[in-house]
């Protein structure tokens, strides 16, 4: 296990030739499968293959990558001018959603191919889609490409993780003062995210205009920490309680996460025990990945220390997930995903212990799988071992 290198002095969005290379690889996949091409409808797949961070709503956006001819962006007319700014693709538009002819069926007519794979399709359209085609494969050919990142993608991931860490550094530094003045979960969240959003904008705002860049976060305290996806409220954290902070950052459309559970005041022996168990779970995650276990096996190895500590009933979720152009994407460190862990993957490691009515605990690291070792892109947990995760009160 290694720490990520320091962030570079300057970064730029991925260039057009990155996306041209992605589309070339997907074209090769279609050709090898005996298809005329691939129709991408999953928003993350379209973004991955074009670099276009479009508005996701009920109006479908499609990308056709044929074995012959130019790639086609198939978009609602209101997105026409935005789509014209995407390099390397032709643009065709439909009028509106839902339309007399459903937009996806219109796309099939516009493409005119008879043998294709579609990454995702509404079951209600399956019969009509099959009637228009000689061969329809419902297969996501993009997933294996997205799962393995290039060095350029990893550079954006490392920088996003760096800024996610800075949110936690701010929370640890000023959280005690905010709480002492009667501050709430919402106050803690507003201060630490607002501070780092300004830093992120000052550092990268000009270069990354038009890409996805930002901070998302949650702060939960005391018994509310047992609700992994609970909303942030005006509850005031109290002495002796844990505070869970989960931070996501995106830069150039690439995501990373960092998270910690801090304690208001000196931790009890039981609180230290839980934090040590979670640290053991994180170490087991890294060890299993470096042993090249499957994603499902990594999940089991990571959760084993929590179960061995008698906290198995407090487990509420998998150990982690992939990250890239979406905050949650394949592969999944979870039961059922037999994908082997391998170099180039970006994975979250999120040990969690949730005891309803009592407390909740979670830490988050962003892991980059290297050829030999796992690299820690987020560093907050390493810089602040369990005994130092204390907010003075």
Which tens digit of pLDDT belongs to each residue from 182-207?
999 999 999 999 999 999 999 999 99
List, in sequence order, the alpha helices (H) in 75-182: 80-84, 103-111, 126-132, 143-147, 151-180
Phi, psi dihedral angles at 183 (to 5 degrees): -65, 155
Q: Are 143 and 25 in contact (CB under 8 A)?
A: no
DSSP conformation class of 8: P
What is the CATH code of the structural domain delimited by 148-391? 3.90.230.10
Q: What is the pLDDT of residue 196?
A: 97
Q: What is the pLDDT of residue 3?
A: 75
DSSP conformation class of 7: P
Rounded to two decimals, what is the model's pTM?
0.95
What CATH number matches the domain at 16-145, 3.20.20.70, 3.40.350.10, 3.30.70.20, 3.90.1170.50? 3.40.350.10
Delimiting residues of CATH 3.40.350.10 domain(s) in the chain: 16-145
Show the beta-strand stretches assigned E in 95-236.
115-118, 135-137, 214-221
Q: What number of CA atoms fall less than 13 Å from residue 282's CA on the CB side?
A: 30
Q: What is the pLDDT of residue 4?
A: 73
Tokens of 287: 């060890």
Q: What is the pLDDT of residue 228?
A: 87
Delimiting residues of CATH 3.90.230.10 domain(s) in the chain: 148-391
Q: What number of CA atoms fall less than 13 Å from residue 60's CA on the CB side?
A: 22
Cα end-to-end distance, the chain, whole Å: 34
Q: What is the pLDDT of residue 10?
A: 78
Q: What does the pLDDT look like over 201-260, one tens digit per residue?
A: 999 999 999 899 999 999 999 999 999 888 899 999 999 999 999 999 999 999 999 999
Question: Which segments of the chain have a pLDDT < 70?
Answer: 5-9
Q: What is the pLDDT of residue 36?
A: 98
Q: What does the pLDDT look like over 362-389, one tens digit per residue?
A: 999 999 999 999 999 999 999 999 999 9
């Amino acid at each position: 296990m290694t720490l990520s290198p320091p962030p570079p002095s300057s970064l730029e969005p991925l260039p057009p030739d990155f996306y041209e290379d992605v589309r070339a690889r997907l074209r090769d996949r279609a050709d090898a499968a005996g298809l005329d091409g691939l129709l991408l409808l999953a928003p993350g797949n379209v973004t991955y293959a074009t670099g276009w961070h479009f508005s996701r709503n009920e109006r479908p956006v499609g990308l056709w990558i044929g074995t012959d001819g130019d790639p086609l962006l198939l978009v609602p007319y209101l997105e026409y001018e935005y789509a014209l700014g995407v390099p390397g693709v032709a643009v065709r538009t439909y009028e509106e959603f839902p339309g007399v002819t459903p937009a996806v069926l219109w796309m099939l007519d516009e493409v005119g191919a008879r043998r294709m794979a579609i990454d995702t399709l509404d079951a209600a359209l399956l019969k009509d889609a099959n009637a228009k085609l000689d061969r329809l494969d419902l297969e996501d050919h993009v997933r294996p490409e997205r799962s393995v990142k290039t060095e350029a993608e990893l550079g954006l991931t490392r920088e996003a993780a760096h800024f996610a860490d800075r949110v936690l550094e701010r929370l640890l530094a000023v959280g005690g003062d905010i709480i002492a003045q009667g501050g709430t979960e919402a106050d803690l969240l507003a201060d630490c995210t607002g501070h780092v959003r300004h830093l992120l904008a000052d550092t990268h705002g000009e270069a990354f205009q038009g890409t996805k860049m930002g901070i998302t976060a949650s702060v939960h305290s005391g018994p509310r920490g047992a609700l992994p996806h609970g909303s942030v409220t005006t509850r005031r954290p109290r002495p002796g309680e844990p505070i869970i902070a989960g931070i996501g950052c995106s830069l150039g459309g690439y995501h990373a996460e960092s998270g910690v559970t801090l304690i208001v005041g000196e931790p009890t022996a039981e609180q230290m025990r839980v934090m040590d168990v979670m640290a053991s779970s994180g170490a087991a995650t890294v060890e299993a990945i470096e042993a090249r276990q499957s994603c499902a096996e990594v999940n089991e190895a990571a959760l084993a220390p929590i179960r061995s500590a008698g906290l198995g009933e407090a487990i509420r979720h998998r150990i982690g997930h992939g990250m890239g152009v979406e905050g949650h994407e394949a592969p999944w460190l979870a039961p059922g995903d037999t994908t082997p862990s391998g170099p180039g993957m970006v994975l979250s490691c999120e040990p969690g212990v949730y005891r309803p009515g009592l407390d909740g605990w979670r830490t988050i690291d962003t892991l980059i799988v290297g050829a030999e070792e796992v690299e820690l892109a987020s560093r907050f947990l390493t810089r602040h071992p369990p005994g130092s995760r204390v907010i003075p009160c």
